């Protein structure tokens, strides 16, 4: 999976907040759009992925950007839903194809980096707001 390759050499879960901050800067400078880590801002990030998708670059060309959006999704979950960044164990790394993600309040691990990649590959049915709702719904249910 492309996300796994983009993360090679990174320091695991501690990279999540930094990757999120990087995409916030890229979006602010490149698109003149402010992402504020709110749940509502996930719709903005989702639209940006949709705009990139409409241009149809190969996934390899935008993997780093998508990883940034996935980290942003993860950081919103941390700030707004009580999730924490975690390094995946071996079985989780095999399942998700990367080294880290988030642990929700209900004890389930989630793969926001892969969520952004799936949004790009599969379209709006894999939106970032829906991912957030799935995590929050599990945590509250």
Q: Residue 54's pLDDT is what? A: 97
The total of structural domains in the chain comes to: 1
Average pLDDT over residues 54-65: 96
pLDDT, averaged across the chain? 91
Q: Which residues form the domain of 120?
A: 2-140
Residue 46 has pLDDT above 70, yes or no: yes
Residue 30 burial (CB < 10 Å; 0-12/13-18/19+)? exposed
Q: How far is CA 43 from CA 23, 91, 140, in A?
A: 15, 31, 21
pTM (predicted TM-score):
0.90
Q: Residue 137's pLDDT is what? A: 85
């Amino acid at each position: 999976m492309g996300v796994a390759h983009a993360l090679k050499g990174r320091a695991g879960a501690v990279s999540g907040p930094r990757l999120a901050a990087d995409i916030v800067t890229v979006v602010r400078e490149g698109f003149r759009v402010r992402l504020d880590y709110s749940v509502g801002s996930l719709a903005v990030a989702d639209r940006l992925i949709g705009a990139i998708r409409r241009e149809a670059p190969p996934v390899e060309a935008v993997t780093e950007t998508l990883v940034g959006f996935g980290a942003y999704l993860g950081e919103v979950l941390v700030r707004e839903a009580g999730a924490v960044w975690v390094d995946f164990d071996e079985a989780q790394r095999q399942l998700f194809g990367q080294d880290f993600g988030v642990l929700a309040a209900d004890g389930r691990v989630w793969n926001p980096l892969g969520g952004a990649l799936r949004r790009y590959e599969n379209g709006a049915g894999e939106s970032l707001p829906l991912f957030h709702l799935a995590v929050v719904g599990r945590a509250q249910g």
